[in-house]
Amino acid sequence: MNEITDEEVELMDYLRVIWKRKWLIIIPTFICMIIAGIVSFLLPPIWEIDCLIQPSKFFIQTQTGEFKEILLEEPTQIAEKINREAYDNLIAAQLNLSLDEFPKIKAENLRNTNLIRVYIKENNIELAKSILSELITHIKRDLDTKVDLEIKNIDLSIKRNEIEKERWNKEIEILNNKYKIVNQREKEIIEEMKEIRKRIKKLEEEQFKVLNKEGKNAGESLSLLLYSNEIQQNLRYYNSLNELLSAKKIERENINSRIKEIQKKIEQLDNEIKRLEDRKGRYDYTRIVKPPMPSLHPVSPKKKLNIAIAGILSLMIFTILAFFLEYIEKYKVKK
C-alpha cells in the first residue's frame, strides 16, 4: 500500500513540474514545429521517377510439355550493375552532365518477378526522365545484342541445313534421272528379249518343218545345222540379256533405296529447320513494362511527418529541460 502511495506521489510530482513549466515546454515545441513546417515548405519538392524493365528471355519446353522462361541475364545482376554506377559515366557524357550533379540511380529486382525497377529521386523531373531513358536504351541494347547473336546463330544453322537439303535434293534429281534411264533400258531389254523369243520360235518352227520333211537332201541337212547354230546363238544372247536385265533391276532397286535414304535425311533436315524456326520464335526482346514516370506526389520533404517529428523531439527535449531546471532550482534551495 505504501509503495502505491509513493508511486502516486512521484507521478503527481512529475505532473506538477510539467504543469509548472508548461509554457517552457509548449511554446518552444510550438516554435520548433513552425520552423520545421517553414523549412519543409521552403525545401524544393523531390519526386521519385521510376520505370520497369523486363530483361530479354527465351522459352524452353520441359518434358511435361510446359514452357519455362530462361533469362539471358538475371535481373539481380542487372540491378547490381546499375547500383554499381556502371552506366553513369556514359549517360553523363551523352547528356553533358557532370558527375557532381548526376543523381543517384537505384535499381532492384521486384520480389517473385523478373522485373527490374529503376528509380531516381530528383526535383528535376525532366532530367531524371532523360537519364532513365538513356539508361533503358543502353540496357536494352546490351541485352538485345545477346538475343540478336543467338538468333543470328540459329539463322546460320537454318541456312546450313537448307544448303544441305538443297544438295540432297539435287542428288535425288540426279538419281531420278538415272532411275528413268535404267527403267527405260529395262523396257528396251524386255522388248529385245521378246523379239529374240519370237525369232527363236520362228527358227524352231522352220527347223521343225525341215526335220519332218522326208527325203532330206544335203542342203536341207545343212540348213538344219544352221538353224540349230542360230537358235543357240539367239539363246546365248537371250541369256546375256536376261543377266543384264537382272543387273538393271538390282541397279534400279539400289537407286530407289538410295532415294528413300536421302528422303529420310531431307525429312530430318526439315524437322531440324522447323525446330530451329520454332526456337527462334521463342526469343523475347527486352520490354519496357513501364516508361519513366514521376510519382503522383513528391516523396520529400514530407511536411506533416517532419512537423510531427519536430514536435515529438521538441516535446521530449523541453520536457527533460523542464525537469533539469526544476532539479537545479531545488538544489539551490537546499543550499
pLDDT 10s digits, 93-128 = 988 888 887 899 999 999 888 899 999 998 889 999
So what's the pLDDT on residue 215? 56
What is the percent of the chain where pLDDT is above 70? 90
Q: What is the average pLDDT value for the chain, to the nearest integer?
A: 85
So what's the pLDDT on residue 4? 46
65 or 52: which leads in pLDDT:
52
Q: What are the residue boundaries of the structural domains of the chain, listed by start?
A: 22-43+301-321, 47-155+285-294, 162-280
| Span of 32-41, 211-220, 320-329 with lowest mean pLDDT | 211-220
User: Mean pLDDT throughout 295-305?
Assistant: 81
Model confidence at 166, pLDDT cuts 50, 70, 90, reads very high
pLDDT at 157 over 70: yes
Q: Domain 47-155+285-294 belongs to what topology?
A: Alpha-Beta Plaits (3.30.70)
pLDDT 10s digits, 212-251 = 665 556 666 667 677 788 888 988 988 999 999 999 999 9
pLDDT 10s digits, 263-272 = 999 999 999 9
The cell for 234 is: 539367239
So what's the pLDDT on residue 83? 93
260 or 23: which leads in pLDDT:
260
Cis, bond preceding 294 (omega within 30 deg of 0): no
pLDDT at 43 over 80: no
Nearest to 35 by CA among 307, 237, 238: 307
pTM: 0.62
